[in-house]
Amino acid sequence: MKSYIKLYGPAVMKGLRALEKVAVGMPECSFWHVAIPDNLPYLGHEYVFAHPEAEQYYSNLQLAFSAGSSVEIPRERLHKMISKSGHTLGDYDFFFEWHADPTWQQIEELIEKIDEALKDTGCTYTITTK
């Protein structure tokens, strides 16, 4: 099951980065969005960190997540964080892929986290879970 997010500007890239931070803090989900490089390589179920584009993307994600804190994303979590289901975005900009069907309470918590994350970006959004 996935929760699809459609962002409305003016600062869509800021919104995507804010949603990444939400996703990093949710071990029950993987994610994908429109700004992830199409050529981000993976091997089986793990992304190849020796590949320059993958290493750069994950380094940037790690820096963005840990900015202002000493918290780091464990390397094992990085391998599981990016959705393996690929490009199923359609008209959406971002999705959270649930590892198990979410409860209504989990969806409400996600919405609250998204509301908080986007409040200073200028973005509004819609969410569809299916």
The count of domains in the chain is 1
Q: What's the pLDDT band for 20 if we cut at 50, 70, 90? A: confident
Average pLDDT over residues 12-40: 82
Give which of 55, 71, 56, 3 is closest to 33, Cα–Cα. Answer: 3
Q: Specify the DSSP class assigned to residue 26.
A: -
The pLDDT assigned to 85 comes to 63
List pLDDT tens digits, range 80-110: 666 666 566 778 989 999 999 999 999 999 9
* Mean pLDDT taken over the chain: 80
* Structural domain containing residue 88: 2-129
Contact call for residues 62 and 73 (beta carbons, < 8 A) = yes
